[in-house]
């Protein structure tokens, strides 16, 4: 039975479906529920002086992901679930795996949308595929089309 469930939440349609499924699993199993939103590493701006990080863009992204996380937590609380959450910063899969180990999660839940174009799938890669390969526990991939 699951005791600690980690939901990697991004606010997308598939993420919202994962949130609902995760809530049901937590209720059914009596597990603790933790949400994380991972702010990806910011792109660099190349200028004559070299590589520059746009700090204002990074700050805006952190605030945007804080809003996404708060929305997910609000939805869970409104449905009667207790949950905690945190915004992380870094490579998505690395941060999910690190945090799952930190809280000793026994299930990671993530949303996934099937992409029709092979070129888009190749270019963007798959967080869920990489997560399955590196996760320290079971992974539930909630799929939307």
Res 135 pLDDT > 80:
yes
Chain centroid offset of residue 125 CA? 15
The C-alpha torsion from 47 through 52 and 54 to 55, rounded to 10°, is -150
| DSSP one-letter string for 49-70 | TEEEE-HHHHHHHHHHHHHHHH
Are 90 and 41 in contact, with CB atoms under 8 Å apart? yes
What CATH number did the domain enclosing 97 receive? 3.40.50.620
The domain tally of the chain equals 1
**Domain carrying residue 88:** 4-144
Q: What is the pTM of this model?
A: 0.84
Residues of the chain above pLDDT 90, percent = 61
| DSSP one-letter string for 18-38 | HHHHHHHHHHHHT-EEEEEEE
The tens digit of pLDDT for each residue in 41-61 reads 765 555 555 555 567 777 888
Helices (H) and strands (E) in the chain, counts: 5, 7
Query: How far is it, in rounded angstroms, from Cα 13 to Cα 59?
Result: 24
User: For residue 83, which of 36, 130, 124 has the smallest C-alpha distance?
Assistant: 36
DSSP state at residue 4? E
Q: Which of 31-40, 101-110, 115-124 comes out lowest in average pLDDT?
A: 115-124
The per-residue pLDDT for 123 is: 47
């Amino acid at each position: 039975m699951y005791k600690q469930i980690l939901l990697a939440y991004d606010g997308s349609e598939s993420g919202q479906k994962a949130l609902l499924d995760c809530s049901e699993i937590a209720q059914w199993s009596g597990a603790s529920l933790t949400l994380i939103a991972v702010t990806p590493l910011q792109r660099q701006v190349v200028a004559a002086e070299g590589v520059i990080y746009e700090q204002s863009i990074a700050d805006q992204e952190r605030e945007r992901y804080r809003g996404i996380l708060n929305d997910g937590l609000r939805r869970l609380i409104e449905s009667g679930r207790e949950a905690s959450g945190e915004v992380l910063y870094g490579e998505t899969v690395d941060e999910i795996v690190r945090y799952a180990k930190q809280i000793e999660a026994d299930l990671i839940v993530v949303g996934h949308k099937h992409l029709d174009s092979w070129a888009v799938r190749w270019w963007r890669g798959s967080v869920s595929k990489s997560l399955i390969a590196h996760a320290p526990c079971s992974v539930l991939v909630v799929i939307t089309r």
